[in-house]
């Protein structure tokens, strides 16, 4: 039953439809391409195949179907990705045999039930003051409901008791970050007497909470408290409001970054919906890469005092290193967008239409701070601007601002450039790229294996070349799974004395039937599709398919023959005068074959 439901979901949702909800994808012949969301790259190597209903990145060698993509993007287990995609496809899930008690699944349930609990508390007498505070901040009833705002009653265990009645264990509530362990045993509610802001992942699932203490209550409490790190909540990888903003971000080709949750909500109410905020943390490289799935353009809106500029500084530096196009939105009224919207929503809507380029902003603000006619002023201006210019990853753009600084300070360009080089040498440790965890590191694939996959791809896409090019590769396709597919194809060719798309389609269907319950990435079918996609992704640059395929075969043969020649040469050297005649003949055979390839 589970397989039939998976197939039904796949039949209703195309792979390009699902992936385009997360990434900017562009046409590439019969396929689509994008910059990979799983590793940092400048040239797109992430391919989406509608025909095969799969995706694959030739940079980090990750791939799969819509389920594996959503699981990897959202950090979900299969059961949760199944629920998410079933809802999107309009498929009602029947009772299945798979285990529904996984930790991530239960944590998501606890958070969802908690969110509904807080929402209800805001609507009753208990949450009256919290609701009035939100209304006084200028929020409408509709926008409060849209963002599912709530209230946590000032009680030590009200939520805990509610969750236990719903069947959730204390340990599960703790794993979800909703309770805190007592020193002497037991648990108490983490959030008490607070306005609750649910934090969602890109798909709209609640993964945590941000909370604000009620104004007028105990001022010794922390003003804001957030969910701690859990199995599904990593604050450095979550952006508040992204689930609601992502469509508009792609549509406007711009992401507006504000400081707080209230700024996001107020901006939405004013009709500006391409807005997100961090969840109680400075902007991180991971969050910027998430934004880059939708746009390369980011506009920072922050308090214009020195503290606000400084707080945004690190995020701007990271965005420069990521090669993003950065601008600044200056809030004209009030100290933040929420205040501006409350006072004059139309003014906020007009303001976001004219963001200022980040370097133009820095040049204006820094030149305004110091006297450019005095030597000390020149030194301060150069020091602060070079500190920013040094973070720009694009050398052409960097050189443009070096020239501009030279002209405005009336100082020789070489002196400015020398100062930049000295600055970078002094802080040589600064320019390292953001750390990548193990899952983001590229998986090394040998040149030999790449060539074998490419050759298999050529065979699948151009079967009519088989007799001419591919009929005698048994000794060179050494990858067991590739060789197994090759032998199946070769046997069919021998049997039918020809090979075409129809014959291969029947073989692929047979493989699919045999491997119905096999893990996707271990299957021959997956290898078949990846190999074919590897050639499809290159067709735009291939002038002569026959010549390119022949070059792949020659390169593969050279690698295999050189390795075998090295082995036999080592053996002959160790045996010395006792080297067998057979080994000497083998050495000569490999040498002659290599020489023939170079002719």
Q: Beta 54-57 vs 46-49: how paired, if at all?
A: antiparallel
CA distances from 586 to 95, 276, 472, 474, 572 (A): 63, 67, 19, 18, 11
The answer, yes or no, to whether residue 240 has pLDDT greater than 90, is: yes
Closest by alpha carbon to 126, among 192, 57, 186?
Answer: 192
Say if CB 72 and CB 57 are below 8 A apart: no
Pick the CATH number of 447-598 from 1.20.1740, 1.10.860, 3.40.50, 3.30.1360: 1.10.860
Measured between alpha carbons, how far is 484 from 505 in angstroms, rounded to an integer?
Answer: 17
Band of pLDDT at residue 2, cut at 50, 70 and 90: low
User: What CATH number belongs to 239-354?
Assistant: 3.40.1360.10
Question: Using H for helix, E for strand and C for coil, what is the string for 285-342?
Answer: HHHHHHHCCCCCEEEEECCCCHHHHHHHHHHHHHHHHCCCEEEEECCCCCCCHHHHHH
CATH architecture of 2-89: Alpha-Beta Complex (3.90)
The β-bridge partners of 48 are 32, 55
Estimate to the nearest angstrom the gap between the alpha carbon of 436 and the chain centroid. Answer: 12
Phi, psi of 453 (to 5 degrees): -65, -40
Q: Is 29 left (phi over 0), alpha (psi -120 to 50) or beta?
A: left
Q: How many CB atoms lie within 10 A of CB 507?
A: 18
Measured between alpha carbons, how far is 80 from 101 in angstroms, rounded to an integer?
Answer: 11
The string of pLDDT tens digits covering residues 254-264 is 999 998 899 99
Phi, psi of 28 (to 5 degrees): -145, 80
Q: Beta 206-213 vs 275-278: how paired, if at all?
A: unpaired
Say if CB 451 and CB 470 are below 8 A apart: no
Say if CB 158 and CB 178 are below 8 A apart: no
Q: What is the pLDDT of residue 599?
A: 54
CATH architecture of 362-426: Up-down Bundle (1.20)
Q: What is the pLDDT of residue 74?
A: 79
Q: How many CB atoms lie within 10 A of CB 311?
A: 15
The string of pLDDT tens digits covering residues 157-209 is 999 999 999 999 999 999 999 999 998 889 999 999 999 999 999 888 999 99
Q: How much of the chain, in percent, has pLDDT values that exceed 90?
A: 52
Q: How many CB atoms lie within 10 A of CB 94?
A: 9
The answer, yes or no, to whether residue 428 has pLDDT greater than 70, is: no
Say if CB 23 and CB 34 are below 8 A apart: yes
The answer, yes or no, to whether residue 69 has pLDDT greater than 60, is: yes
Q: What is the pLDDT of residue 26?
A: 92
Q: Which two tokens stand for residue 316?
A: 């701007």
- For the chain, the domains span 2-89, 103-233, 239-354, 362-426, 447-598
Question: Using H for helix, E for strand and C for coil, what is the string for 188-204?
Answer: EECCCCEEEEEEECCCC
Task: Could you list the beta-strand ranges (E) of 303-412.
Answer: 325-329, 356-357
Band of pLDDT at residue 446, cut at 50, 70 and 90: confident
Q: Packing angle between helix 447-461 and helix 480-496, nearest 10 degrees?
A: 30
Q: Packing angle between helix 66-74 and helix 2-12, nearest 10 degrees?
A: 90
Which of 118-132, 439-453, 578-592 comes out lowest in average pLDDT? 439-453
Q: Beta 206-213 vs 194-200: how paired, if at all?
A: antiparallel
Total count of residues recorded for the chain: 599
Closest by alpha carbon to 477, among 559, 566, 356?
Answer: 559
CA distances from 267 to 202, 294, 342, 347 (A): 19, 19, 10, 11
Q: Which two tokens stand for residue 462?
A: 């151009």
Q: What is the pLDDT of residue 427?
A: 55
Measured between alpha carbons, how far is 151 from 594 in angstroms, rounded to an integer?
Answer: 76
Higher pLDDT, 191 or 572: 191
Q: What is the pLDDT of residue 519?
A: 66
Q: What is the pLDDT of residue 432?
A: 39
The answer, yes or no, to whether residue 573 has pLDDT greater than 90, is: no
The string of pLDDT tens digits covering residues 532-562 is 999 988 887 788 999 999 999 999 999 999 9
Q: What is the pLDDT of residue 431?
A: 39
Higher pLDDT, 333 or 129: 129
Q: Beta 297-301 vs 325-329: how paired, if at all?
A: parallel
The answer, yes or no, to whether residue 358 has pLDDT greater than 70, is: yes
Q: What is the pLDDT of residue 520?
A: 66
Instruction: Judge: domain 103-233, CATH 3.20.20.70.
Output: no
Q: What is the pLDDT of residue 586?
A: 85
Closest by alpha carbon to 52, among 70, 42, 40, 64?
Answer: 64
């Amino acid at each position: 039953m589970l397989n039939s439901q998976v197939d039904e979901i796949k039949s209703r949702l195309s792979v390009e439809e699902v992936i385009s909800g997360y990434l900017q994808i562009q046409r590439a012949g019969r396929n689509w391409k994008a910059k990979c969301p799983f590793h940092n790259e400048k040239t797109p190597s992430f391919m989406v195949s509608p025909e095969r209903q799969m995706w694959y990145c030739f940079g980090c060698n990750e791939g799969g179907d819509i389920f594996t993509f959503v699981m990897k993007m959202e950090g979900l287990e299969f059961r949760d990705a199944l629920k998410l995609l079933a809802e999107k496809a309009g498929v009602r899930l029947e009772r299945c045999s798979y285990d529904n008690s996984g930790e991530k699944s239960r944590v998501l349930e606890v958070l969802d039930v908690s969110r509904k609990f807080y929402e209800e508390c805001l609507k009753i007498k208990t949450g009256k003051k919290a609701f009035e505070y939100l209304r006084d901040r200028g929020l409408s009833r509709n926008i409060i409901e849209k963002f599912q705002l709530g209230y946590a009653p000032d009680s030590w265990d009200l939520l805990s008791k509610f969750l236990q009645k719903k069947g959730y264990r204390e340990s599960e509530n703790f794993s979800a970050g909703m309770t805190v362990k007592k020193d002497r045993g037991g648990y108490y509610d983490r959030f008490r007497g607070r306005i609750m802001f649910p934090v969602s992942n890109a798909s709209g699932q609640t993964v945590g909470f941000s909370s604000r203490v009620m104004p007028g209550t105990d001022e010794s409490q922390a003003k804001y408290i957030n969910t701690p790190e859990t199995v599904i909540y990593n604050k450095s990888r979550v952006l508040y409001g992204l689930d609601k903003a992502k469509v508009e971000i792609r549509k406007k080709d711009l992401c507006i970054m504000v400081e707080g949750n209230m700024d996001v909500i107020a901006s939405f109410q004013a009709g500006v919906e391409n807005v997100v905020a961090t969840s109680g943390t400075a902007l991180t490289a991971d969050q910027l890469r998430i934004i880059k799935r939708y746009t390369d353009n980011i506009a920072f809106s922050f308090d214009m005092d020195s503290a606000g500029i400084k707080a945004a500084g690190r995020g701007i530096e990271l965005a420069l290193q990521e090669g993003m196009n950065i601008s600044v939105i200056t809030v004209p009224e009030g100290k933040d967008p929420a205040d501006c919207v409350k006072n004059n929503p139309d003014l906020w809507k007009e303001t976001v239409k004219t963001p200022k380029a980040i370097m133009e902003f820095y040049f204006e603000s820094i030149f305004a701070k110091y006297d450019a006619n005095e030597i000390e002023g020149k030194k301060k201006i150069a020091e602060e601007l070079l500190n920013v210019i040094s973070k720009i990853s694009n050398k052409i753009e960097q050189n443009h601002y070096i020239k501009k600084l030279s002209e405005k300070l009336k100082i020789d360009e070489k002196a400015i450039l020398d100062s930049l080089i000295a600055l970078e040498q002094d802080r040589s440790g600064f320019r390292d790229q953001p750390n990548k965890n193990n899952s983001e590191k590229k998986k090394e694939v040998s040149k030999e294996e790449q060539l074998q996959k490419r050759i298999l791809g050529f065979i699948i896409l151009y079967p009519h070349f088989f007799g001419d090019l591919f009929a005698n590769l048994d000794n060179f396709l050494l990858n067991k799974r590739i060789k197994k597919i090759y032998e199946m194809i070769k046997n069919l060719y021998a049997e039918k004395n020809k090979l075409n798309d129809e014959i291969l389609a029947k073989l692929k269907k047979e493989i699919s039937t045999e491997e119905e319950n096999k893990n996707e990435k271990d299957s021959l079918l997956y290898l078949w599709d990846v190999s074919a996609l590897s050639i499809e992704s290159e067709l735009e640059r291939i002038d002569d398919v026959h010549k390119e395929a022949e070059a792949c075969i020659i390169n593969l043969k050279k690698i295999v023959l050189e390795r075998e020649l090295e082995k036999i040469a080592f053996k002959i050297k160790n045996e010395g005068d006792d080297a067998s005649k057979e080994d000497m003949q083998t050495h000569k055979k490999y040498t002659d074959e290599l020489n023939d390839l170079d002719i």
